[in-house]
Structure 1
Amino acid sequence: MQANPRSLDTLFNSQLRYVVPMFQRLYVWKESPQWSTLWEDVSEKAQLLMRGVKSNPHYLGALIIEGVKPNSPREVKRFLIIDGQQRLTTLQLLFCAYRDIARANEWKTLDRTTTRYLENADADVMEKPDEELFKLWPTTLNRDAFRSVVSAGSPEEVSKRHPLVYLPRKRKPEPRSNLAEGYLYFSKMISAWIDASAAEFSKTREEAAFALLQSLQQDFCVVEISLSEGDDSQEIFYSLNSQGQPLTQSDLLRSLIFMRAEKEQIDRDEIFAEYWSKFETDFWSMDVRRGGRTYSRLDLGLRFFLMAKTGQMVDARRVNEEYRRWVSAHPPRYATVKDELADFTRHGEAYQRYESAIPSELPCTDLRRVLMDFDVSTALPLVMFLELEAGLDAEQSKDCLDAVESFIARRVLAGEETKEYNKLFVDVIGSLRGLSGDAVLPALRKKLLEGGGTTRHWPTDGEVVEKAISRPVFKMIKTPALRLILERLETALRNKKTENLDIPAGLQIEHVLPQKWDAHWPLKGVSIPANVALYPHLAQGELAPLADAVRTRNSTLQTLGNLTLLNRYLNPAASNGSFESKLVEYRNSVLRLNRHFDAATAWDEEAIAKRGKALGEAICKIWPRPTVPEKSES
């Protein structure tokens, strides 16, 4: 490793190019604090120069680069920017703005000088002239904007190519490229400085512009650190970014992969376009909250990928560290970086298929909806393992996923805790690693049946039925999950003779015995006042002996046996009316769930319990549970 001071003239005045690797982030510097701070320093130094005052060079920081062996004798010498791409890109924007001002004023010497800082000569003999012409070659997603700005030739053309867009009812324009904004900022500042300085020092505008360029050439330096062959650029990059964690876990993963791609001399643009570009989208960059912390979806996807691969818990804050340790094992996990990216992309597509699902657009039997409505995204690593890692055919995969779904659904109905799901499902993956095909299902069932307590127990048929009868699920289970259970019951009640009608979206949960029951639903032949129905402890006199019965009714009406589904037109119509009026409305429903009431003549706590028992038994058939652990093949 060699460190040397480099003036900006030395830095850009040779036939070379600085390439921003794929692992670097986009250009993110803005007017405040970066551009304005740089410009204050530049204008101050130039003012001192015009006054004839000597000053020490101003250091702009370190630039860490790594030379790359050329692929052809015609290729312009190439350096990878390990650290410093933000300031190097900013300097290019500044010189570009200066060049265009010189060109517009026909200051040919200044134009030629700054053009040499932006472009390499002899494009006709270059290997890839469209790329090698530029002294700086940004990362893929910045290239079009950078090339557009450098080639525009004027602020007017840059504004034309990158116009401000105002959306309806918005006062502020939509954000445009930082590269265009930076160029326009420096163009404005340089023009204003030249005019002001020429007037202040009684110079021509060209003389003032020359002094500004001279100051940039002489008074500003960087410390160029050039890595030697034995230096590990990857470790240096991590060390530079270890304090304050300015990079996300997925940023660090990208650096790991594309640094190795450089060393393997793989076409970076090709693998970026084929694989990594899929992750440079709004979906993957969106922040989501998990366990009280906020992560990008790409960080979460990487974590789930690694847990699916290893069967071990991965700390969300140290995903990249764990990934590096895992992928660097011997023998290597992947033959090439391309194989690694292909596998990660395959898992990423599976994760996205589940994470981007819109429950209202999916049938109740779709596992994606089940996981979202039951709010168990922690099961995704296990689902990804079963779909992609366990070597299962379609039927075997379905059987295994049905077992996982049964485990989750029964626990939702029973009100079991979910706080250890992340550990549980990863433990299950660990127990299945090394198995494949027919051996996976028995081992999966055995592992799920072994769990105990409130965090890992797989409820039995008896427990499910008991909860269906007695648990006030309307108060205890979130609406999407409860609606899903009722829709699955509706599906199960249909038979071959039932019309194959989809269950419409937006069905509402209806209480048969309404929550406000006082007006039309006597209790033991006694009409109960509204205040007593709501607050049984207020019962006095002849109503006092009914206080417990009121409490029982208020609890019973929230159980599964008293719930059904109606569309948004029927639900208000049924509302808090009498049972007789409700039956009239229920006859308009095509749902099998509501055919149960066709033969009913009364509806009370006993009828609710009886229907709850029947629905509980139906749930046991929808989501069956093995009764005894099965032996897995070893």
Structure 2
Amino acid sequence: MRAQEITFLKLVQGDKQFQVPLYQRTYSWGGEQLKRLWEDVGELVDQHVSGESTAPHFLGSVVLAPGQIQAGGVQRWLVVDGQQRLTTLMLAFTALRDHLKASGESRAADRVHRQILVNEFHEGFDHYRLLPTQADREAYTACVQSRAEAGGGDNIGAAYRFFRGALAEGQEADIQRWVATVETVLKDLLSIVEITAEPGDNVYRIFESINNTGVGLSQSDLLRNYVFMLLPKRGERVYQELWLPMQQTLGPKNLELLVWLDLVVRGHHKTKQSEIYREQQKRLQPLAGDEDALQREVAQLAERGRRFLRIVEPAREPSTSLRTVLERLAAWGGQTHYPLALHLLDLVEAGSTTTEDAAEALLYVESYLVRRLICQTPTTGLNRIFMEAPKELETDRPAAEAVRRFLSGRRRRWPSDEELREAIRSKPFYWSGRPPQRSYILRRLEESYRPTEPVDFDKASLSVEHVLPQRPAQAWFDLLDEETEGNQSPQELHDLLVHTLGNLTLTGDNSKLSNHPFQRKQQILESSALRMNLEIASAERWGKAEIMHRADRLSERATELWPGPIGGVKPAGDEWPGWTELRSALVAMPSGTWTTYGDVAELIGSHPVPVGSYLGANTTVIGAYRVLTVEGRISPSFRWADGSDRPPPQDLLTSEGVRFDSLGRAHPSQRLSAAELATLLGRDVTQPAVHDPLPEGEDEAAAERFRAQLRENWPDAYAGVMAALDFWRHQGGHVTYGRHEETSCFPMLDAGTSRRPHLMWPVGIYPVSGTVEVVFQYLKTRSPFDDTEQRRELLNRLNKIDGIDLPEAKLELRPSFPLSVFARNGDEICEVLDWFVGVAALDLARRG
């Protein structure tokens, strides 16, 4: 085998084709990997635009083996390893080409197409520079050919849509220069090591050896080995007295974090965690031969490690004021604040600031994070902001003032009081951040009442409760009907209110409250120990007016708890952030789907009318034609921009796979709700139920509630559902139930071992609302259904059953079918369940 470092452009140029062998898994990169790559690209673009010297960014290796070549044909290379990054970059170029074409840069688009994506003078499969596995070929070639169905519901389509959105949002005022620089970076500044096998090498054995290696050395292991190689005389003593205690106290993961943070707080804020060893080695190399200096470096690292431990375990912090705010940041979760927090503790240790000043500075950090979450400000670039802080803070000011000024920078997006109030009134807070962060914000708001007998939140088992229920009974809709605006239904008003902060509280009685009428909820809330619940219970009714009034009261508390940026007002001329969310949501929609103005309004915290006005004035927004009226019709006011040669919206949607009836209404199964749009944006809309450890047996009381609700609401389907659940048990599964008033049912399967449970469930059954959810969203994280082909096969098998019509565009979501299908087709559903169990069993055997 031979290896060489090469740019992506040089790797792919020429009449060649990279074939992904059949034994490779399908394309599997998701949002996290794509965002990380795009952040690296963005950093290189910024450096290049600002005139900084730009070193190529190393992406990793691609292992190739020569394939067959025919006279006059293309040179074929089998991709033994590296297909994920190779496919990702090709999809980035398809998105770049289409972005250039949409911007009127047809020559540049043609250049990208010919240089990177295709072998211009070859036909059939030889036309493509990359040929993925069979399972991915249709989706990939749709992107390369710019077919209507490009950007579907699988991982290939999701990656293409991600790059389309990133390019649309990334371009600044100097459009041509920015996009041209992105092209330069993708072609010439992403470095890949090309490893080429020799003819006759066993390609599969190479693949096997690469993907079955043992645990490699961590970056901190490499650094330790390097340091002690430079300490031949003092190494043993320095290791015993300094390094080993630090290593034992912090543990492997935190030690790795420390050696990275050590670089960041020294000003090396662009260092990635994968580059720790190289950067630390570069810094320490001049000290080779000076064991005194090297010992001091290890001692300084150990001291910094003790300070870092106070961030990770705030109970170790001796200062009360600092400990309190560090505990709050630890409860918030994540590592974003680590670089700035460690820098502030360094300043306290050096005597450059006081503990009170550092605590105030960290309060601004908490406020910055909380306000951004409530306002649903995109998290892109957030880590970079906190990594830059230690180097960028003004040193001639108190630390707290310097931090507040730094975070108040215009491009750092610290929401003003005005933005915070508006977000609390209108944003779907229940879809913000992670569940612990939502609970944390409600807890801090409750604590702001300063009750004489505060609740012990560490011991209380509290969860977030919707006062206006998510699935309300008719009495709630009758109440809301009194407050609807013109052409607004009670359901639409409900959707705009239900997830806002004004409608949410904390309770230990979630299952009791459920969707009861407000009078019953009042009786339960009146016995609560939480002041915010007593305040809700004192209301005479609970509709739009009460939710808005409570939102305003909570806003006052929020602005006191979490101070805003310097100036405290929204910068003049800034675009409303909701429009950014709208554009991101429409880009995230797979081809073959549609949504409504109301769904988008619910997602971004607006109203259908301004959403319609915005899209009417900006029809070039990617996916604008996919937003329809609540009936599924094209809005009469929708017009393409003058001079556009695009086909009518209905024709375009039809070509993507959206079905319309004779009255021009899109098929409801292909509609994306606001919750589904939020899921596609990566928001934590729902969490799977916790089933670990496994219950000893099924909860009989819950099972009886489920059966009673099923008999009452769907008597014709009762026998079919019961037979299917019995069949599931005979196949080795068990059944669990939800804890709310509508007692949902989940047929569970443990396809793991006693030491490593591997739980999965194909559907959730809801006996009151009468729906059966197919949980693709959860299955995609569980082998073997993390393979798109297996989820597609499940969808296809279900769709053969009369009454089930699941769109392929929802392979990442939780589409549903009517529970009434069990009345006629219970046997066919059992056949699908049998196949599901068989696939899981084969996967378990493969995993050993």
Q: TM-score, normalised by structure 2?
A: 0.38
Name the structure, 1 or 2, with higher relative contact order (CA <8 Å, separation 6+): 1
TM-score, structure 1 as length reference: 0.49
Q: Point out the structure with max Rg over C-alpha.
A: 1
